Each structure stands twice: as structure tokens, then as C-alpha cells.
Structure 1
Amino acid sequence: MCAMARPRKPLLSRDRIVETAGALVDAEGLAALSTRRLAAELGVSGPSLYNHFRTKDEILDAVADAVSAKIDLSMFAEDDVRDWRTALHDWAVSYRAALADHPHIVPVLAQGPGRRPAGLRVADAVFGAMVRAGWPPAQATSIGALMRYFVTGSALGSFARGFVDDETAYDPADYPHLGQAHLLAEHRQKVDQRAFDTGLRALIDGLGAQYDAVAARTTTAPSDVSAATEG
């Protein structure tokens, strides 16, 4: 009996589709992804993709969720000893690193988790950790939203790259304070990292002040009630 010949290409799977779509988006951007192009990259017919995904948007959701799955959430585990400030800082650093590795998918991630499992696990972990730390639920929600705005915004583009490297482009007569702006692009990574670090530190310091105010109100409330009753 003759053995069955092995297929020339690996069998199509959700994981293979997502991996190939992610590589295409990373290399050429969101506009490059179409079901026809993806099928060609995979060496299959276009309709075969629909055995795994109904639409291109579902494929993009899966690519985005694969990036979310790379974000470290260990600092939010109940047995982790880090306080909420350190945990929030460490998570934001991991969050930005994941997005920085896949900048073209950031506009999809910026829309929110929707029904994506990994994205929802991120939201659940952040919210749960903030509530356990003593934040009221409404403010815990706001913290999650704030951090998403900040991190995705920092990953959507480069401030330093927004300036050309031509030293004649910024006439001192018109822009007296931009005499060194042409040097920013050359030092893009350092400039953008420093901006992120400065902003993250300011955010957490500001949240820390709010947290202390919340804690103070919580601590004084029972004694105020007691005093009023005794009076």
C-alpha cells in the first residue's frame, strides 16, 4: 500500500493565518492586508480563509489580540508584592513595548478590546488590581482608560520623527526656539523614550496624590459620623 503524500504546504489554521497577517501588517501596514493578498501569502485560495474567519475585520481583531497577549500582567496577580503604583508603571512599560514592536496594529488596539479575549484579560486585570488597591470602581475604570489613552498615543507616532533633519528648515526669524529641532529625528528613540518616561512618572505621581486624598476621606469619614452622633 502506498503511503499518502504529505501536503506541500502546512495545513491552514487560525494560528497560521493570524501569524501571516500580523507579519504582513508589521511589514507594510494595515492598508496592505486584504483577504486576496493574505491568501496569496499563505499559498491558498481566498475562500479557504472563510473556514476560519468570516471577515477581514475578524482577522485584524485576532492579530490585535495576539499583540495584547504579549503584554505582561504578572504584576497584577493577587500574590504579587508590588504596590499599585509600581504595578501600574511596570505594566505600562510592558504595554508600550508590545505596541512598539507592532506599531501598525495600534489603531486597531486603540479602539478598545471589544470581544477580544486577551484584550479583555488586560482590562480585567487592571481594573481588578486598582479596586483591590482601594480605588473606587469608577476611578479604577478611569485609570484604565487614562492609561490606554497615554500608552496607545505614545505608540501611534514619534514626536521626534515629526521634525525634518534639515537644519535650514526652521528659520530662526519664524521659529526662534526651534534651532535644534532638526536634531530630534537623529535621536528619535532617546527623545521618545524620555518623553514616555516623563509622562508615565507624572501620571502615576498625579494618581498617587488622588489616591492619598481618597484614602484620607475614607479614614476620616467614620470619626466624623461618630462625632456628629455624640454631639
Structure 2
Amino acid sequence: MARPKVPLISRRKALETALRIIDEHGLEGLSIRRLAEALGVNGASLYHHFRNKDEILTGVAELALAEVRIGEPDSGDWRHWLPKNARALRRALLAHPALLPVVAGRPALGAGVRALDEAAARLMDEGVPSAAVMPLLDGLELFTIGSALHEIQRDGAGEPAEVADERYPALAKAMAERGLSADEVFDLVTASIVEGIDEAVKQRQERWMPPRKSSRDTSSRQHGGRRAGGKA
């Protein structure tokens, strides 16, 4: 079927509908035909906006993560807004769990590159060494994706059934008396990641830098040179 000359739908409408299908039926439930039917158009109409299904998935991931932005000018320094971004990413993943594989593989799809570039630029503008930028961004994203995956799987399956019986009393007690919520654990670990990577990069850079010469050493060499010259 020929593609209409004038788009019958907007790109955003197509992405919003695709996101709803994925939320309801999972990634495997999304197809060009199903999306076109939900929009009331033929499949050719979608090719005004997307070359293939991968481009739709990329757009859907970016739409779902639209609220995950770098810090606003009044949002404090990077130690404040970077963990805040991680919390926003986690909320988005928990709201759209079927998108986890897409978000985890988004570098291959080319999704989120602009946002990463903006975050990297903001970090370096705030004085973060360039050597620490990718460890910070990668470390927080990896932990955030893992945290969201763990929570989604736990909520979907509940606690292990065997824990309720008497075979695992210590584990049952620990789970019943859990001292921190998942949100509290997430905040603690992200803060530790930020602090740990920042410190590790500083220590490594100090090892790379040549030792500073003290003014006493410099003065001694200068005097020694003059004495040697006088004897000559």
C-alpha cells in the first residue's frame, strides 16, 4: 500500500500509543500492524516518522525518560542533581517495566546520546574531572537499572514462598524486620557511588601526577649550583 503524501498522525501520538501498547502487552506485543490499527491508520502512515520498529522503540524510550533531565540551574551542584537524575530514571523504569531491555540496550539504538552529552558537559562545567564523568554516569545507570529490575521481579513474584516456612528462619526474620525500604537503600547506595568514584578518580590522578618539588629542595639545588660554580 502506498504511503500517504500527508502524515495522518503526529509522531508524538504514535509514540504515546506505542508506549501504551508496550505497558499493556510487553515489547513482544508491539508491531507495526498493531500500532497502526490502534491509531486508525494503515502501516504505511507510520513511515512518515519512523524507518523501522527500532526507531519506534528508541522514540518510546526517550518519551518514557523525558523527565530524566540534567539538573536545573537552581538544583545545586552535581552531587545533588546526579543522584536525583538516577531516582528519576528508576521511577520511569518502575512505571514502564517492559522498557527495561530497551533502556539497557539504548546505546546500541542510539537513544539518549544527547542527554548523556548534556550531562557530561554539565559535570565538567562544574569542575568534575573528565576522567570521572563516564564512571559516574555508567555506575549510576547500571545500579539504577539493576535496582529497578530487582524491584520489578520481586513485586511480580512476591517473596520466595519457601521463606515463610520454618526451613529458613533467619532469612524470614530478616525479611520481616527489614530496616530500610528499597527507596532508602537506593538513595544510600547512589550517594556512596558518587562519593566513591569521585574519590577513586582523585586518588588515581594524584598517582599519575609527578611529585611537586618543595621550595626547600629548589633552593638547595640553586645554592649548590652556585657553590659548585664558585669552586670551578
Q: TM-score with structure 2 length normalisation? A: 0.74
Q: Which of 83, 94, 112 is the aligned partner of 1:100?
A: 94
Alignment of 1:150-161 (within 5 A): 150-158=143-151, 160-161=154-155
Q: Is the 8 A contact 2:100 2:145 kept in 1?
A: yes
Question: CA-to-partner distance for each residue in 1:192-211, whole Å, 9 max, x for gaps?
Answer: 22331232122123234336
The residue that corresponds to 2:182 in the other structure is 192
The residue type paired with residue 182 of structure 2 is D
Residues 41-52 of structure 1 mapped to structure 2, 5 A cutoff: 41-52=38-49
Relative to structure 1, is the Cα distance of residues 201 and 172 closer, same or farther in structure 2, using a 3 angstrom cutoff?
farther
Residues 101, 166 of structure 1: CA spacing in aligned structure 2 closer, same or farther, 3 A cutoff?
A: closer
Moved more, 90-99 or 30-39: 90-99
Q: How does 1:8-27 map to 2 (within 5 A)?
A: 11-27=8-24
Are the equivalent residues in 1 in contact too, given 2:136–2:194 (CA < 8 A)?
no
Report the CA distance shift for 1:229/1:110 in structure 2 as closer, same or farther (over 3 A).
Answer: farther
| Preserved CA contact (<8 Å) 2:132 2:197 | no
Alpha-carbon contact 2:131-2:201 (below 8 Å) kept: no
Q: Which residue identity does 2:87 align to in structure 1?
A: V
- Change in Cα spacing, 1:222 to 1:126, as seen in structure 2 (3 Å) is farther
Pairwise CA RMSD: 3.3
Deviates more, 1:195-204 or 1:152-161: 152-161
* Structure with greater contact order relative to length (CA < 8 Å, sep ≥ 6): 2
- Residue deviations 1:2-39, cap 9 Å, x none? xxxxxxxx931211111100111122211110111111
User: Could you tell me which amino acid in structure 2 is paired with residue 139 of structure 1?
Assistant: A
**Structure 1 contact 21–33 (Cα < 8 Å) conserved:** yes
Residue of 124, 130, 155 corresponding to 2:123: 130
**Does residue 72 of structure 1 match 2:63?**
no
Distance 1:70 1:23 in 2: 17
Larger relative helix fraction: 2
Report whether the alignment pairs 1:57 with 2:54: yes
Q: TM-score, normalised by structure 1?
A: 0.74
- Residues in 2 aligned to 1:44 and 1:99: alpha-carbon distance in whole angstroms: 30
**Gap regions ≥5 residues in structure 2:** 1-6, 222-232
Match of 1:224 in 2: 213
Q: How many residues align?
A: 210
CA contact (8 A) 2:16 2:60 kept: yes
1:61 shift after superposition: 0.8
Structure exhibiting the larger radius of gyration computed from Cα positions:
2
Equivalent pair of 2:136/2:193 in contact (CA under 8 Å)? no
* Partner in structure 1 of residue 82 of structure 2: 88
5+ residue gaps, structure 1, are 1-9
The equivalences for 1:177-216 within 5 A come to: 177-180=170-173, 191-210=181-200, 213=203
Listed one character per residue, the Cα deviations across residues 29-80 of structure 1 (whole Å, up to 9, x for unaligned) are 11110111111111112222223212111111110111232213234xxx54
Separation in structure 2 between the aligned mates of residue 31 and residue 110 of structure 1, nearest angstrom: 16
The answer to whether 1:172 aligns with 2:166 is yes
Q: Quick check: 158-167 or 18-27, which moved more?
A: 158-167
